[in-house]
Structure 1
Amino acid sequence: MSVLDPTLFPSTNLQGFYAWTDTLKGVYYGPGSVKTALPKLLDVLGAKKALIVTGRSLFEKTDVIKNIEAILRERNAYGATFYEIGQHTPVAGIKAGLNLLKESGSDVIVSVGGGSPIDASKAILYFHQQETGGDTLRQIAIPTTLSAAEYSIGAGYTNEEGMKVAVSSQLLAPAGIILDAELTLPTPERLWLSTGIRALDHAVENLYRPQVPPPMKHLCYAALVDLFKYLPLSKADPKAIDVRQKLQVASWMSLWPIRFQQYSALGLSHALGHKLGATYSIPHGITSCLTLAPTVNLKADVASEEDKEWLADALFYLRKPSTGNREGDIRKLAAEIQQLVDGLGLHSTLTEYKVPKEDLPGIAERALARKNDPTHPQVVRLLESLY
C-alpha cells in the first residue's frame, strides 16, 4: 500500500505561518509556499536585491535555484547566485560569497539547501558586518534537508587549517524561513534521511541540554515521535510530499528557536560530530548516525538523575514498554535509535572514513572541551566501538 493512500494520509493541508520575536519575522510552511512566502518576506524586510547562496549540486542538477531566481526576477530583486559552498563550509567560500554580496549590491541573502549554505550565509553576514561596521544584513533560509541549521543563532565553518570554528550572534539567525516540501524532492535519499537523524540528534540532546525549558523538551518528544514515524515512510515513498512536509515540521520542533546566549554543540553527540566531520570529511548527518545511539547508551551511566528521567521517558512517547528502570530504558532508547539508523540504510563506521585509531583520544578530549574530564576513557571506548 502506498504511503499516499488517502486512508493513511487524508488530504492534510499542512501549511501555515509562525513568528517569534523581532529576530525571526516568520516561518512559512507548506508545499508550494515559496511562491508567495518569499515575496512577503522581502517586503517585511524592506529588501531590494537578493544574493542566492546555495551548493553546486542544487544549482547544476535541479531546477530549484532557477525557480527561485525567477521569483526574484519577477520583483526585480535578483542580485546574483553564489554556489561555491562546499561541505563543512570552507572559509574560502565564505570570502568569495562576501565579495559577490558586495559586488551585486544585494541587501539580503536567500540561502537554499542544507546546513552548509545556511551556515555560510550567517558567516558571510557576520564578516560583512565586521568589515563595514554597519547593521547586520539578514537572511531568508529555504532548507532542502532536515539539518535544522536555520533555527540556530550561530554558524560553524572550516578555517584555513581545516579546523571547525564558529561565529555567533542573535542577529545571525535567519529573519525568515520557508519550509516548502516540494523543493526537497531532488535532495538525494542518503542526504535527506541522514539529516533526519541529525534532527533526531537535536531532539534527543535537547532533552539533557541545560537551559532548555520543559515546554521545549516536550516539543522534542513530539519531534522524536514524528521522525521515528515518517523517516521510514519517506524512504518507502520518496515522492510523498505530505510525508516530507511532516518531516520538515519535525525538524523544526527538534530545534525550536530558543534564545540561547551563545552558539555551541547541543551535547556530546554533536560535539563528537563537530570534531569528526570537518577533519575527516564525514557529512553532518552521517556523524549523527555514528554517534547518537552510542552517546545515549553512555548517558545511562553518566547523566544526572534529572537528565536520565527526560531520556527514559522518551520510550513512553515512542509507545515502547519500559524495562522497569531508567538506565534500562535509556539503553533501550539507544537500541531503538540504532535500529532506525540501520533500517534506513545509514549504518556507517569510522573505518569507511579512514579515521586513525590513534586520533581517538584527541578527538574525545576536544569534544569534551576540558582537560582531565572523568568520562574521557568512556568516550574513547565509545569511539572505538564505531569501527
Structure 2
Amino acid sequence: MVLKSFAYEALPMRVRFGSGSVSVLAEEIAHLGLRRVLVVCSPGQVRTGELVGAALGELSAGILAEARMHVPLSVANRARDRAAELGADGCVVVGGGSAIGLGKAVALEHGLPVVAVPTTYAGSEMTTVWGLTGDGVKRTGKDPRVLPASVLYDPDLTVGLPVPVSVTSGINAMAHAVEALYAPDASPIVSLLAEEGTQEMVAALPAIVRNPRDVEARTRALYGAWLCGACLGATTMSLHHKLCHVLGGTLDLPHSPTHAVVLPHALAYNQAAAPAAAEALSRALGEPDPARALWDLAGRLEAPRSLADLGMREADIEPIAERVVANPYANPAPITREGVVRLLRHAWAGQAPASDC
C-alpha cells in the first residue's frame, strides 16, 4: 500500500467503556475537579436523568429535561440561564444528539466542561461540532470548548432504546463513517475506524431488531457508534450531512430518520468518484454496491426510506436543493443543482438510490 501525506489530530478526552460504566460517573466528575454539575436530558429521558442525578448525589445541581432536536435557540438560552442561575461548574448530558447538543450550547456560552453519557448511537459526543437552530436555519460550527472532557459508554443504558430509534440512530452513525472515508482530510487512521465502525454496526443492528435486550449486540452497536463518532470528530463531512442539516433545520424533519433515508442516495451520488471509499464499504457491508446495500439493509430493518413519509412535501425539493448548493463545500463528486434535485426526488419518493445524480 502506498501512503499519501496526511494529518491526524487526536481530540483530548477520556473514554470509559463497558457495562456498568455509569456507576463510576461520580468518580469521573471528581477526576475533572467539578463540584456542581447540571444534568441535561430530553423530556423522554427524565427517568435516566433522575437516575444519573441520584448517582451524583451532592454533585448534582439539578436536572434540565428540555433538550430538543436541532437545539432551538430558545431552548439553548433557557439552558444557559439555568446553568448560570444554579452556579453549575459543568454539565452531564444524558441521551442522544439532542441532549449532547444542548450541553454543547451551554459549554459554548459559559465554557463549562461537558461529561457525556450517550444512550443512542448519534456520535455527537466525539466532536467539537455544535449546532443551533433559529428562524428555520440550522447554523453549525466547531469550537474546542464544546468537546466533552469525558465520555462514558454504558451499553446497559441503551437496552431500553426502542428498536426504530436504535435502527435510525445506528444508520446515522454509519453516515459519519461513510463520509469520513471520502473526506478531504481523510487519513489511514480514520479509514480504519470508519470501516470497523461500519462492520460493527451492520452486525449489531439486525441482532438488536431480533432481540432488543441482547446486551452483546447493544455493546457492539455502542462500540461501533464510538468509532463512527470519532470519524465525525476527525474529518470534514460532505454532501450527506449538508443535506440532513438543511432538511432538519428548514423543515424540522426528525434527525436520525432523515439520515437513514438520505444516506444511500448521498453515497450513490459520490461512490463512483470515491473508489477507495466504495471498496472499504464493500468490505464492511459484504456487497459490491455499498449504496444499494445500505438501502436494502434499511428495508430489512424497517427503517424509513422516504422523505415524504417523514413529512417533506414534493414542493420542498427545489427550495432545499437551492439551499444545499448555495454554499460550496468539499465533496468527491461535483455538486450541481440538477444532481441534488434528482437525489432528493429519489429520496422523497422512497425509490432505490441511483448513481446518475
Q: TM-score, normalised by structure 1?
A: 0.82
The one of 33, 56, 63 equivalent to 1:46 is: 33
Task: Tell me whether 1:267 sits opposite 2:238 in the alignment.
Answer: yes
Matched, 1:291 2:258: no
Q: Secondary structure at the match of 1:273?
A: helix
The answer to whether the 8 Å contact 2:325/2:335 transfers is no
3-state DSSP of counterpart to 2:38: strand
Q: Output the CA distance in 2 between the equivalents of 1:272 and 1:22.
A: 26
Contact 1:80 1:100 in 2 (8 A): no
Aligned AA (1:30): G
Query: Residue 367 of structure 1: CA displacement?
Result: 2.2
8 Å CA contact retained: 2:120, 2:169: yes
Which amino acid in 2 is paired with 1:211? D
Query: Partner of 1:359: helix, strand, or coil?
Result: helix
More helix, by proportion: 2
| Matching residue of 2:16 | 28
SS of equivalent residue, structure 2 residue 117:
strand
CA contact (8 A) 2:258 2:307 kept: no
1:121 paired residue number: 103
The answer to whether the aligner puts 1:67 opposite 2:51 as a matched pair is yes
Larger Rg over CA atoms = 1
1:34, CA displacement in angstroms?
A: 0.7
Partner SS, residue 209 of structure 1: coil
Which digits, 9 at most, give the CA deviation of each residue in 1:305-327, with x for residues without a partner? xx22222232134344xxxxxxx
> Does structure 1 residue 375 correspond to structure 2 residue 342?
no
Which of 218, 223, 235 lines up with 2:192 in the alignment? 218
| Runs of 4 or more above 3 Å deviation | 20-23, 257-260, 317-320, 368-371
State the match for 1:106 in structure 2. Answer: 88
1:154 maps to 129
For 1:247, what is the secondary structure of its paired residue? helix
Deviations 1:136-156 (A, max 9, x none): 220000011000010110111
Q: Distance in 2 between matches of 1:285 and 1:310?
A: 22
Q: Which residue of 2 aligns with 1:351?
A: 308
So what's the TM-score if we normalise by structure 2?
0.89
What are structure 1's unaligned runs of at least 5 residues?
1-19, 129-135, 321-328
RMSD: 2.1
Q: What amino acid is aligned across from residue 115 of structure 1 in structure 2?
A: G
Q: Which is further off, 344-353 or 176-185?
A: 344-353
Alignment match of 2:248 (pick from 269, 277, 297): 277
- Check the 8 A contact 2:125/2:229 in 1, yes or no: no
| Alpha-carbon distance in 2 for matches of 1:22, 1:351 | 38
Residue 323 of structure 1 is matched in structure 2 by none
Q: Which residue of 2 aligns with 1:333?
A: 290
The letter for the 1-side match of 2:342 is R
The 5 A counterparts of 1:223-234 are: 223-234=197-208
Q: Which residue of 1 aligns with 2:6?
A: none
Contact map agreement 2:180 2:232 (CA 8 A) in 1? no
**CA distance, structure 1, for counterparts of residue 92 and residue 64 of structure 2:** 10
- The residue identity in structure 2 corresponding to 1:351 is A
Give 1:364 shift.
2.0
- 1:170 paired residue number: 144
> How many residue pairs are counted as aligned between the two chains?
336
Look up the match of 1:325. none
Give the one of 303, 310, 321 matched to 2:277.
310
Matched, 1:203 2:177: yes
1:257 offset after TM fit, Å?
Answer: 6.2
Structure 1, residues 191-240: CA drift from partner, whole Å, max 9, x if none?
12101000111111111011121121121111111111110001111001
**Are the aligned partners of 2:298 and 2:305 in contact in 1 as well (CA < 8 Å)?**
no
Q: Which runs of 5+ in 2 are unaligned?
A: 1-8, 329-333, 350-357
- 3-state SS of the aligned residue for 2:92? strand
Identify if the C-alpha distance between structure 1 residues 219 and 173 changes in structure 2 by more than 3 Å, giving closer, same or farther.
same
Match of 2:120 among 142, 145, 148: 145
Describe the shift of the 1:257–1:359 C-alpha distance in structure 2 as closer, same or farther (beyond 3 A). closer
